[in-house]
Structure 1
Amino acid sequence: MRTSGLTGRPWLDELLRGAAFAVLGLLLWWAAPEVAVKWRPDTTDLPPVGTAATIVAAAAGVVLRRRHPMLGLAVTVGALAVGILGTGHTPLGVLLCFCDALYHAVRLGSPRASWTVAGLAAAVAGVTSLVSLVNAGGRAALVTFLNLVLLLAVPVFWALEVRRHAETAEAERERAEQARRLAELDRAAAVGAERARMARDLHDVIAGKLSAIAIQSEAVLSVPDPDPPILRKVLTSVREESVAALTEMRAMIGLLRADGSGDADPRTAPAGLDRLDDLLATARSTGLTVTVEDRRDGGELPAAVDLAAYRIVQEALTNAAKHAPGSAVSVTLARTEGGLVVEVANPLVADAPPGGGTGTGLLGLRERAAAVGGTVEAGPEGDRWRLRAELPVATKVGSRS
């Protein structure tokens, strides 16, 4: 409900507007009583109290114009009928109230009621002008027609035009809201698909680690009297695999807590930076010139970070092939104190062909990086496009001595 207005209370605002119309009508009648619409040559005057009551009654219809527009119009039509059927003339204040009530009835009424009122107004104007032409001649018919244009046509056409603009604006708002909801659904689907693919990859990694633990444990149990150094070595390996599997399991659980549906990609072995050469070969086959600066120390990365880094490089090279075909792309991998930094840069191409993407690729990269506690930043930097990802790498838990 709208609360804007003079007082913030709709009913009180309408009551004040009705009072303003009544005061204005009474002042016009007092200052210029001869200013009125004459409906026929022979006119009679009501007592002052009767004229004032007619103006106040018409103003009462203004009070109802928003909450009950059709009832408000009926009240002002009753006040107007006093002049048409009784005295033969109508004070200007009553006409103002009628025009306002007619406008709001067409503007705020239901579509069916609005067009019914507009049709009745046209019918009344036509019939009245025709009757005036037959009974009083052309001059009187012309005067009647002009009066009816001011009285009926202007409020009706004005209200219809305002209503049309309001309905068009409302339809545009609905379309914009629908587009926003579809965009949110697309983003949610992209995030869900990325989470499902990451969880699937991590599942394969965890399954491999648990299988190694089972094999090593079974090997130790099958030996009747294992050598202590060998036993210690096997248990050390089992502990390291268990800790690594636990870390990956926590990452997978975090992904599966969010709703999302998997994509239709076939199940494959989890990709990592050890397959970076294959990825670079694919990018070069599209026409890109790819240079790599690998400043890692060669230490093992957690599987989740390794998968995230691989996917980030893969998506960045795909975007470069779309938006900067044939350009030189630089890929930088560096280990820092806090983790792994991945940076991919390519020159901005002014006349690059449209990629046709939906923007969900970058969203998926950010989701993947966030899943391992990292961040992704992408955007123009001077004359090049740069993507930088920082992925934290926790200190590996060693074995006890």
Structure 2
Amino acid sequence: MSGGVTGRRWLDDLLRAAAFLVLGLVLWLVVPEISISWWPHPVDVGPTATALTITVASLALVLRSRHPLVSLSVTTGVLLVGVVGTGHTALGVVLCFADALYSAVLLGSRRAAWTVSGLAAAVTLLVALVSLADEGGRAAVVSLLNLGMLLAVPVFWGMEVRWHAEIADAERARAEQANRLAAMSRAAAVAAERARMARDLHDVIAGQLSAIAIQSEAVLSIPDADPATLRTVLASVRRDSVASLGEMRTMIGLLRADGSGDTDPRTAPAGLDRVDELLATARATGLDVTVSDRRDPADLVPAATDLAAYRIVQEALTNAAKHAPGSAVTLTLAQDDGRLTVEVTNPLVAGAPPGGGTGTGLLGLQERAGAVGGSITAGADGDRWRLRAVLPVPAPVGSTS
């Protein structure tokens, strides 16, 4: 609870002290008879001394935030001057003491707060016992009530406010920790997805470079090859090399993860040509999958885009099996105007959270789509859940001369 005091807090304490000073002086001047008398015949010290005690007690409140125990010590000293020396205390001094006591319990360290509370309880009990021994039970009860107002109320009030503030701080810390863990989880999911994409593209590039090497070796092994054959092979080599360069640029952009946790089996990278395997797996889980494929088989798709589309279909079908088991799912594939569109819809199931899960799956798909310049939208559409991805399909480089 303790800590540095900002300029604003310091100003607040100064204004608070000024307010207590004005209030104490006004009460003393207007209704001087309401000052507290400790003895039957208090000593009259004159207006100057009374005004001085009010002023000193009020100025001590300037230190209530930065040095709450010092503020309490000063106001306690002024209060004891009245109790021990003069036999009476102005009401303004009592108010300043109560505020300093409250501030010490609220703003001091935990140890200081409990120490002050214990001392207040001990003083209250001691005075009650002395009154009981000297003047009987009635005086003891009166002493308990009076000291309860003077000591117990500020202490209990300060402890209550402090307790609620500590609970709020703890909840805030837990929320911040949960946010940090969620951010770390999202970052780990993104890094893992990027590493997985880079591995897939590595296999694509390796295959393209192998094809270039084989074609080059074949041309070199043909003696006196005719120009038409040479041109055909060189055009194929150029096409594969340009495609490899494009895939390499994409892979370099993805290699941000450190590659840790690389436990996926090394297989040929998947694409939409293997979507039937996904459909078979989905149907085996009980999904009723309907496919609408509006693509032209002659249309070419870059490897990175093909991989992204495959993973999007895979994740969408997995989510449908998890959150809408046994439902009717529709998969639509279309390619026109330089765009590949993948859309998967399934019914919303009552009681299931929209989208379900932690969201890292969708986050990974967004990374997939974003890496190839595309976008993904997912959400409820009426009584169905719809995931739609739009991926750009640039014209093949080097396809025409």
State TM-score, norm by structure 2.
0.95
User: Taking structure 1 as reference, are residues 43 and 2 closer, same or farther at Cα in structure 2, changes over 3 Å only?
Assistant: closer
Within 2, Cα distance between the matches of 1:11 and 1:197?
56
User: Taking structure 1 as reference, are residues 368 and 261 closer, same or farther at Cα in structure 2, changes over 3 Å only?
Assistant: farther
- The equivalent residue for 1:281 is 280
Deviation string 1:324-361 (CA, Å, 9 cap, x unpaired) is 11111111110110210011111112155999732211
Residue identity in the other structure for 1:165: H
Q: Per-residue deviation at 1:286?
A: 0.6
Say which SS state the counterpart of residue 159 (structure 2) adopts. helix
- The equivalent residue for 2:16 is 17
Structure 2 matches for 1:119-268, cutoff 5 A? 119-257=118-256, 261-268=260-267
Say which SS state the counterpart of residue 226 (structure 1) adopts. coil
Q: Per-residue deviation at 1:133?
A: 1.8
Residue identity in the other structure for 1:191: V
Deviation string 1:74-131 (CA, Å, 9 cap, x unpaired) is 1101110111101112111110000000000010000011110110011111111111
Residue identity in the other structure for 2:272: L
Structure 2 matches for 1:1-400, cutoff 5 A? 9-257=8-256, 261-298=260-297, 299-351=299-351, 357-399=357-399
Within 2, Cα distance between the matches of 1:348 and 1:355?
9
Within 2, Cα distance between the matches of 1:178 and 1:61?
39
Within 2, Cα distance between the matches of 1:101 and 1:241?
81
User: Taking structure 1 as reference, are residues 195 and 144 closer, same or farther at Cα in structure 2, changes over 3 Å only?
Assistant: same
User: Taking structure 1 as reference, are residues 353 and 62 closer, same or farther at Cα in structure 2, changes over 3 Å only?
Assistant: closer
Deviation string 1:310-337 (CA, Å, 9 cap, x unpaired) is 1101111111111111111111110110
Q: Per-residue deviation at 1:137?
A: 2.6
Say which SS state the counterpart of residue 291 (structure 1) adopts. strand
Q: Per-residue deviation at 1:23?
A: 1.6
Question: Which range moved further: 202-211 or 343-352?
Answer: 343-352
Say which SS state the counterpart of residue 33 (structure 2) adopts. coil
Q: Is the 8 A contact 1:322 1:354 kept in 2?
A: no
Q: Is the 8 A contact 1:195 1:260 kept in 2?
A: no
User: Taking structure 1 as reference, are residues 323 and 400 closer, same or farther at Cα in structure 2, changes over 3 Å only?
Assistant: closer
Deviation string 1:272-324 (CA, Å, 9 cap, x unpaired) is 11111111111111111111111111112110011011110111111111111
Question: Which range moved further: 343-352 or 181-190?
Answer: 343-352
User: Taking structure 1 as reference, are residues 225 and 392 closer, same or farther at Cα in structure 2, changes over 3 Å only?
Assistant: same
Q: Is the 8 A contact 1:345 1:386 kept in 2?
A: yes
Residue identity in the other structure for 1:177: E
Q: Is the 8 A contact 1:295 1:335 kept in 2?
A: yes
Q: Is the 8 A contact 1:366 1:376 kept in 2?
A: yes
Within 2, Cα distance between the matches of 1:67 and 1:141?
37
Question: Which range moved further: 52-61 or 250-259?
Answer: 250-259
Q: Per-residue deviation at 1:205?
A: 0.3
Q: Is the 8 A contact 1:189 1:260 kept in 2?
A: no
Residue identity in the other structure for 1:35: I
Residue identity in the other structure for 1:103: Y
Say which SS state the counterpart of residue 32 (structure 2) adopts. coil
CA RMSD of aligned residues (A): 1.8
Within 2, Cα distance between the matches of 1:399 and 1:353?
47
User: Taking structure 1 as reference, are residues 55 and 2 closer, same or farther at Cα in structure 2, changes over 3 Å only?
Assistant: closer
Q: Per-residue deviation at 1:398?
A: 2.8
Within 2, Cα distance between the matches of 1:93 and 1:351?
62
Question: Which range moved further: 259-268 or 107-116?
Answer: 259-268
Q: Is the 8 A contact 2:195 2:257 kept in 1?
A: no
Q: Is the 8 A contact 2:9 2:65 kept in 1?
A: no
Residue identity in the other structure for 1:358: T
Q: Is the 8 A contact 2:250 2:372 kept in 1?
A: yes
Within 1, Cα distance between the matches of 2:5 and 2:69?
20
Q: Per-residue deviation at 1:259?
A: 6.0
Question: Which range moved further: 101-110 or 321-330?
Answer: 321-330
Say which SS state the counterpart of residue 34 (structure 1) adopts. helix
Within 2, Cα distance between the matches of 1:289 and 1:202?
32
Q: Per-residue deviation at 1:363?
A: 0.8
Say which SS state the counterpart of residue 290 (structure 1) adopts. strand
User: Taking structure 1 as reference, are residues 150 and 318 closer, same or farther at Cα in structure 2, changes over 3 Å only?
Assistant: same
Gaps of 5+ in 1: none
